[in-house]
Chain A
């Protein structure tokens, strides 16, 4: 609620100064976003000039020979993020349904606190657990998966432990809180009369969830999924520590891979040549473009929902 809407006397000099000052701070935020894109574009011109857009679909990464193509990193980022969503979305939506429809209020609040705390765990700590707990566990499970599901190309190869499977699992738990929190908030806004109407017709709880609540929440859940995808695409530390850091494209989820964020984290501080540096920043610019597009879509969906 702002007072600005009420037409009043002319703005006082002090008020004007104050308004312009804090408008300056707001403008600073805008400036930062523009400067960010501009700086990265400027620092990566060398790469775009040398390789052109083919940088994005060639797969040689040779810092010594100064030949760069980003496809293996794009592939690793895309596959690990999508697989993470495949695991996290059902789990998150299921949790949100339980928390809104079934759990007693006290229990729901305690569980929500736990879920929110999961979002607060620093990613380097999740990576630490990934390295010493998850990777050995995955290494133990992979031969079993290979035996039972080995007819699919996704479950073949040597059980390294590090690789796409581990990265996706850890990413799934990192984005799970976002999906659960947002889905729950939307489920709480489902109008009671709609649900009561269906109960009055003799529907079971599950039928109400499936017939009323989830369809009502659909666009919001989609927004949550996009937001989670944005997080997963840019997540760095936990992925760097478990993905295996090998720039190869392989259909098997057992094989080590690489991600866009991980290659920047690993190589930037030690990049020896300008060409190498420029290529890494070009990857950063690509990552920026992708996450801004994904987040922009998510925000527009959520803005539209808020207006409803």
Chain B
């Protein structure tokens, strides 16, 4: 082989590797640019009064997003109360008894549900709750978000329970502990940290969901009145403000985006630290 041919191959090598480095730089750079831009735009519009006041009537400058923050906590909180236990218990079933055709079907159904677009899940909640009740409600929004959470929590729980060594189960069973107690009080706590983190990540993900809330929780310019009436949520408020023609609302959309982004970032970073050798389970 001639030296010239080898030099040529070396050049191709360097060029292609540089290209892959450029790809990685673009991928990570986009995230940094997004975060920096939100921080820059949001910081100039955010303040204490913005966080604790209700929106002003249309056309007046100022006002806040307090009702959206409370509404989001309400809707996402209820979604977590429905979605996390269902997902976790179904995950326990798959990990502990998950053989045979039924388990395969459940696992496949969970993966299918995970891939269903959030707007279609919203349509389901709409057909299931909004249409019969003939009114938009916080409850229907929570149900939609819970359905999005379930498959994420389920697969995450299953994965973490499988990591619990069999010897721990056998030790407890050898002491004569009934199997259900072994599962609930020995296996589940040893996987607890992973399961909880997964549930938190799922919560962070649905707290940014907008599409299923447009025609379920619907939005509201005042405080919500319980779970059976429309309520404002943070992502939905960002959406309506962003596409509105008012300059002041655009400013507020950036500030609200900063609040939402800070929450999502905080949960993700906390999960990262808490669960040191982590693997993203959000898919």
Q: Is A211 an interface residue (CB 8 A)?
A: no
Question: Is the C-beta of B57 less than 8 angstroms from some C-beta in chain A?
Answer: no
- Any chain B CB within 8 A of the CB of A58? no
Q: How far is the CB of B198 from chain A (nearest CB, A)?
A: 14
Q: Which stretch, A26-34, A149-157, A246-254, touches the partner chain B?
A: A26-34
Does any Cβ of B come within 8 Å of A54's Cβ?
Answer: no
| CB proximity to B under 8 Å, residues A162-207 | 173, 176-178, 180-181, 204-207
Stretch at the interface among B18-26, B43-51, B61-69, B221-229: B18-26
Question: Does B179 sit at the interface, judged by CB under 8 A?
Answer: yes
Tell me whether A237 and B239 are in contact in the complex, defined as CB-CB below 8 angstroms, given that A2-B99, A28-B86, A94-B20 are known contacts.
Answer: yes
23 contacts between A and B (CB under 8 A): A29-B110, A36-B124, A99-B24, A117-B265, A121-B264, A124-B235, A125-B34, A125-B238, A127-B239, A128-B238, A132-B250, A173-B30, A176-B30, A204-B10, A204-B12, A207-B9, A234-B116, A234-B117, A236-B118, A241-B239, A281-B127, A284-B120, A287-B120
Partner of B34, one of A126, A230, A235, A296: A126
Could you tell me how many residues of chain B have their Cβ less than 8 Å away from some Cβ of chain A? 101
Bound Cα distance from A97 to B19, whole angstroms: 10
Assuming the contacts A122-B235, A122-B260, A123-B208, asked whether A94 and B242 have C-beta atoms less than 8 A apart, the reply is: no
A12 touches B178 (CB 8 A): yes
Given contacts A4-B97, A131-B242, contact A18 B179 (CB under 8 A): yes
Nearest CB in chain A: distance from B155 CB, A = 11
Tell me if A82 counts as interface (CB < 8 A to partner B). no
**Which residues of A in the span 64-93 have a Cβ within 8 Å of any Cβ on B?**
90-93
Partner of A1, one of B10, B20, B162, B280: B162
Q: Footprint of B on A, CB under 8 Å?
A: 1-4, 11-12, 14-15, 17-19, 21-23, 25-30, 32-33, 35-36, 39-40, 42-43, 90-95, 97-99, 101-103, 111, 113-129, 131-133, 173, 176-178, 180-181, 204-207, 209, 227, 230-231, 233-237, 241, 261, 264-265, 268-269, 281, 284, 287-288, 291-292, 294-296, 298-299
Expressed in whole angstroms, the Cα–Cα distance for A241 and B253 within the complex equals 13
Do residues A120 and B283 form an inter-chain contact, with CB atoms below 8 A?
no
Q: Is B154 an interface residue (CB 8 A)?
A: yes
- Please name all residues of chain B whose beta carbon is closer than 8 Å to the beta carbon of A209 when the two chains form the complex: 16
Cα distance A65–B16 in the bound complex, in angstroms? 57
Contact status of A125 and B27, CB under 8 A, knowing A33-B112, A234-B117: no
Flag if A233 contacts B170 (CB, 8 Å). no
- Cross-chain contact A281 with B123 (CB below 8 angstroms): yes
Q: Is B103 an interface residue (CB 8 A)?
A: yes
Residues of B at the A interface (CB closer than 8 Å) are: 9-10, 12-13, 16-17, 19-24, 26-28, 30-32, 34, 37-38, 85-86, 89-90, 92-99, 102-103, 105-106, 108-121, 123-124, 126-128, 131, 136, 147, 150-151, 154, 162, 165-166, 169-170, 173, 178-180, 183-184, 204-205, 207-211, 214-215, 218, 235, 238-239, 242-243, 250, 253-254, 257, 260-261, 264-265, 268, 272, 280, 282-283
CB distance from B269 to the nearest CB of A (A): 9
Q: Once bound together, how far apart are the Cα atoms of A42 and B30, in whole Å?
A: 43
4 extra interchain contacts, Cβ-Cβ under 8 A, other than A29-B106, A98-B21, A237-B211?
A: A26-B103, A30-B105, A101-B17, A120-B204
For the complex of A and B, 4 pairs with smallest distance between CB atoms: A234-B117, A122-B208, A94-B23, A295-B115
- The CA of A115 and the CA of B121, in the complex, are separated in Å by 26
